[in-house]
Chains A and B, each alone.
Chain A
Amino acid sequence: MKLLTGNDLASGAVTWWAGSWWSIHIEDAVDVGETGEAILAREEGARRVNAPYIIDAIATPEGPRPAHIKDRVRALGPTVRPDLTLKPADPQAGEWVI
């Protein structure tokens, strides 16, 4: 599957295209298939996202998992600060990245 990700312009937060809006949770991300470039151009032009790009991911029962470690780190937060990740209650959260 293909996901669309970028950063919120004002806050800089990592965001994921969720079909009609941008979510900070990768669990909300949807497969953009071949439509990524068009969405990217439209959303960037409207300043709803900054520096967006398309990534490869695989679908898992827990939700999409980016193919590259860099995007998994982006999705979770720094692996060395579990208190700052998006899954702070999950002690195994860091393992999801590796």
Chain B
Amino acid sequence: MYKYDNYDQAIVDARVAEFRDQVQRRLAGEITEDQFKPLRLMNGLYLQLHAYMLRVAIPYGTLDSRQMRMLAHIARKYDRDYGHFTTRQNIQYNWIKLEECPDLLADLATVEMHAIQTSGNCIRNISSDQYAGAAADEIADPRPWAELLRQWSTFHPEFSYLPRKFKIAVIAADEDRAAMRLHDIGIQLVEREGKLGAAFYVGGGMGRTPMIAPLIKDFVPIEDYLSYAEACLRVYNRYGRRDNIYKARIKILVHEIGAEEYARQVEEEFAHVKTLGIDPPAAELERIAAFFAPPPFESGLNEDIDRSDPDFAVWLDQNVKPHKQPGYAIVNISLKPIGGIPGDASSAQIDVMADLAEKYSFDELRVTHAQNIVLPHVAKPDLYAVWKALNEAELANANLDLISDIIACPGLDYCSLANARSIPIAQKIATRFADAERQRDLGELKLKISGCINACGHHHAGHIGILGVDRKGVENYQLTLGGSGAEDVSIGKITGPGFDEDGIVDAVERATDKYKELREPGERFVDTYRRVGMEPFKEAIYG
């Protein structure tokens, strides 16, 4: 894992001190809320429905046990004993007091963490593949390249006031586990003639105008990586719209001028940027990469796993994924208990996960964009012990990628932007499909729920998506089918008129029943939908 150098620590500590002063001045009445709001947002502090909400950055979703324990400490000391892991691989706390926030941030800084750039029109937390460094299909570890972007984008003076917020994902495998093409910039590390480079996809996103990022350049030599990213941002910063918040994201610019013209302008800008020498020297790249060197894996571990405990065997099949290192496996911890709140974990559960990472996973954890946690490097002989500990902490939900592994935004239960509640819908659907056998029979089915058009719950990318809207003061839910955030990326289509809270659960069930009726061997829900189209599902849903 990357470790802060003196510069990193100094700027984070300085920011805490600066914010402490700003909070004191606000509480003393020396500055107004209008003056203070942009300052608190720059430090990830929102005012939500019930209280202040703090969003803490988790760069590319990677944590060590010390940091994870700090997250538990924050939940206990400053919040109400739980945290909410988000679709940007971050964590949010819902009950923060302004007067305590500087102390909270100071605590976070002791473990090289902060809440900087988790809000505002700047480059947000860089996201990545949660299996980075462990996946058998990656051509390189994407984390050093995500870390390079983190350093470049942190306090970047030119990109602190972009037309709108900006999200970047970096992956290094053909299987897209990070919804890469639904980002403002999606980067896939690729190889050409034995050399490492990056494919740049620019102008994707969800929100009220969902778009899949087109390929802007299929191979940027890795030595030009940062300059090319800088050129992409510069063109956007210059020409992105600032007159209309709904048209301010880069996807609108790329769409309006066309991917080809945008790429041409980037090339032009790149020719200039490259002369500025912002790409780091090889020695610096090696310094960063060294932090992500593979852990000291043991060789000769027993590959056989005792599957005699049936519950363990089910979890093994569903939540444990192959590792590139023989004798090891990737463990997914689902934060989606039946009837629970997607992405929430108590401080005690966070501590348990930290302990397991320290004992069994070379001290590493990952947060996934699907609001789950990963132990990336677990020795196969340790899997049963890990499962038992998870089971005791109510964290052994064997439902990864099944219908109850639902992504849901906080919705109207917490969020001041939401129009409808998301969490109760997730709870009702998970409860309706609680039977484990039934879920497994349905197979991979990614269900995603947003409580408003901003799409924090990624509903556009759900095989089944649900969007909560406000219809004359009453919650109403639209259903979409056929979306995907993976390498087969697509935007879901609305089925028709919306439903009330119970109606949407019935509609989901009718859609899955129709899938079971129509599916061919090996087809996932989304495959069947793509083969037969909307009509049969529409008929089933609306009768």
Which residues of A line the B interface, CB within 8 A?
7, 9-14, 44, 47, 50-51, 67-70, 73-74, 77-81, 84
Contact = CB atoms under 8 A, between A and B. Distances in A.
A69 B475 contact: yes
B341 interface: yes
Contacts of A80: 341, 413, 421, 423-424, 427
A9 B98 contact: yes
Interface string B117-143: 000000000000000000000000000
Contacts of B416: 70
Contacts of B379: none
A68 B424 contact: no
Contacts of B341: 80-81
Interface stretch (B49-57, B194-202, B278-286, B385-393): B49-57
Interface string B437-479: 0000000000000000000000000000000001001110000
Contacts of A44: 33
Contacts of A11: 51, 97-99
Nearest to A77: B50
A13 B96 CA distance: 9
Contacts of B27: 9-10, 47
Given A50-B47, A51-B47, A80-B341, 8 more contacts: A12-B95, A12-B97, A12-B98, A47-B27, A74-B49, A78-B50, A80-B413, A80-B423
Contacts of B474: 69
B543 interface: no
B29 interface: yes
A84 B418 CA distance: 20
Contacts of A78: 50, 94, 413-414, 423
A11 to B, nearest CB: 5
A79 B96 contact: no
A48 B414 CA distance: 23
Contact of A69 (B29, B427, B473): B473
B383 interface: no
Given A68-B473, A79-B424, A10 B99 contact: yes
A74 B50 contact: yes
B98 A14 contact: no
B412 interface: yes
Contact of B96 (A12, A47, A68, A81): A12
A56 to B, nearest CB: 10
A92 B463 CA distance: 34
A14 B49 CA distance: 8
A14 B51 CA distance: 7
A68 B413 CA distance: 13
Nearest to B341: A80
Contacts of A13: 50-51
Given A50-B33, A79-B413, A80-B423, A10 B50 contact: no
B359 interface: no
29 contacts: A7-B51, A9-B26, A9-B27, A9-B98, A12-B47, A12-B51, A12-B95, A12-B97, A12-B98, A14-B51, A44-B33, A50-B33, A50-B47, A51-B33, A51-B47, A69-B412, A69-B473, A69-B474, A69-B475, A70-B412, A70-B418, A73-B421, A74-B49, A78-B94, A78-B413, A78-B423, A79-B424, A80-B421, A80-B424
Given A12-B52, A78-B414, A79-B421, A7 B47 contact: yes
A77 to B, nearest CB: 6
Contact of A67 (B26, B51, B473): B473
B208 interface: no
A44 B34 CA distance: 12
Contacts of B531: none
A97 B401 CA distance: 32
B264 interface: no
A47 B29 contact: yes
Nearest to B29: A47
Contacts of A69: 412, 470, 473-475
A13 B98 CA distance: 10
A7 B29 CA distance: 16
Contacts of B418: 70
Interface string B416-433: 101001011001000000
A13 B80 CA distance: 13
A74 B51 CA distance: 9
Contacts of B475: 69
Contacts of A81: 341, 413
Contacts of B427: 80
B30 to A, nearest CB: 10
A73 B52 CA distance: 15
A45 B421 CA distance: 33
Given A67-B473, A74-B50, A80-B341, A10 B97 contact: yes
A84 B95 CA distance: 10
A10 B98 CA distance: 5
A9 B414 CA distance: 18
A58 to B, nearest CB: 12
Interface string B26-66: 11010001000000000000010111100000000000000
Nearest to B23: A10
Contacts of B413: 73, 78-81
Contacts of A47: 27, 29
A74 B47 CA distance: 12
A84 B82 CA distance: 12
A79 B412 CA distance: 9
Contacts of B424: 79-80
A50 B31 CA distance: 13
B19 to A, nearest CB: 15
Nearest to B421: A79
